[in-house]
Amino acid sequence: MAEDRNRVSRRDVLRGAGAAAFLGSIAPALQAQAKAKVAKGIARGGPGAVEVGFTINGERRKLSIEPRVTLLDALRDRLELTGTKRVCDRGSCGACTVWVDGKTCNACMMLAIDAQGAVVTTIEGLANGDRLHPIQDAFIREDALQCGFCTPGMIMSCAALHERKLRENMDSSAAPYRLSLEEVKEAISGNLCRCGTYTHIFSACLGVGR
């Protein structure tokens, strides 16, 4: 029986979507060139490398990458920002959580070209120099980590909650905020931990802001 390797995989779908976004945003000449390549059905899937630029942890970075490359892979393998982890590569574990324009995002579910012009923050950019973010401090204090593989994603989710709470509380004179356990659970409901650190993460978050 013949095994057909030309099944449609998620990467194909992503690639298709990415190519579409890409085609919509670049110069017509390039567009035509890319279309021609796709049409000929060459072995190398998708159009060739394209330029993309974004701000990462406060720094402008430019890359030349294939449109099908996810933001996650761009960070890890092209920009040497390996703190963001690849675990499922399918949006189901949260290990790759970063902030894109201030919002949490699974970097494995976003194409790097879709981050064109965006402001991206990764775990490496969370601390202010040597001064850790309060959530990072709290994670250490409460031992909210074991192997640490889920930790960057967990921290990005928790720190986003913390930042949001601070913003919401900005006008009120009571600067510290109060979190409920439910809010913390909700904030990391998309993050998996196999070592079982959840309960220590709860204490870490609940301890900050009080």
Residues found near ligand FES in the complex (CB under 6 A): 86-89, 91-96, 106, 108, 145-151, 193-195, 197
Q: Which residues contact 199 (CB under 8 A, 6 or more apart)?
A: none
Is residue 18 part of the contact set for other proteins (CB under 8 A)?
A: no
Other CB atoms within 10 A of residue 154 CB: 29
Rounded distance between C-alpha atoms, residue 21 and residue 61, angstroms: 20
d(CA 13, CA 111): 12
What phi and psi, each to the nearest 5 degrees, are found at residue 136?
A: -65, -45
Which stretch, 31-39, 80-88, 99-107, 162-170, contacts other proteins (CB under 8 A)? Answer: 80-88
| Shortest Å distance, C-beta 174 to other proteins | 27
Give the binding range for other proteins (CB under 8 A) out of 19-27, 29-37, 141-149, 160-168. 141-149
Q: Which residue has the tokens 């600067």?
A: 175
Distance CA 107, CA 103 (A): 11
Rule CB under 8 A: say whether 147 interacts with other proteins: yes
DSSP letters for 27-86:
-HHHHHHHHHHHHHT-SS-S---EEEEEEETTEEEEEEE-TT-BHHHIIIIIS--TTS--
CB 79, min distance to ligand FES, A: 17
Smallest distance from the beta carbon of 120 to ligand FES, in angstroms? 14
The residue within the footprint of other proteins, chosen from 19, 22, 74, 89 (CB under 8 A), is 89
Nearer to ligand FES, 93 or 111 (CB): 93
Chain-centre distance of CA 42, in angstroms? 31
- Per the DSSP assignment, residues forming a β-bridge with 62 are 53
Site for other proteins in 92-111 (CB under 8 A): 92-93, 95
Task: Say how far residue 178 (Cα) sits from the centre of its chain.
Answer: 27
Beta carbon nearer to ligand FES, 127 or 147: 147
Q: Which of 47, 50, 66, 112 binds other proteins (CB under 8 A)?
A: 66
82 part of the interface to other proteins, by CB under 8 A:
yes
Residues forming the site for other proteins (CB under 8 A)? 1-3, 5-6, 11, 43-46, 66, 68-69, 73, 76-77, 80-90, 92-93, 95, 122-124, 126-127, 132, 136, 139-141, 143, 145-152, 155, 184-186, 188-189, 191-202
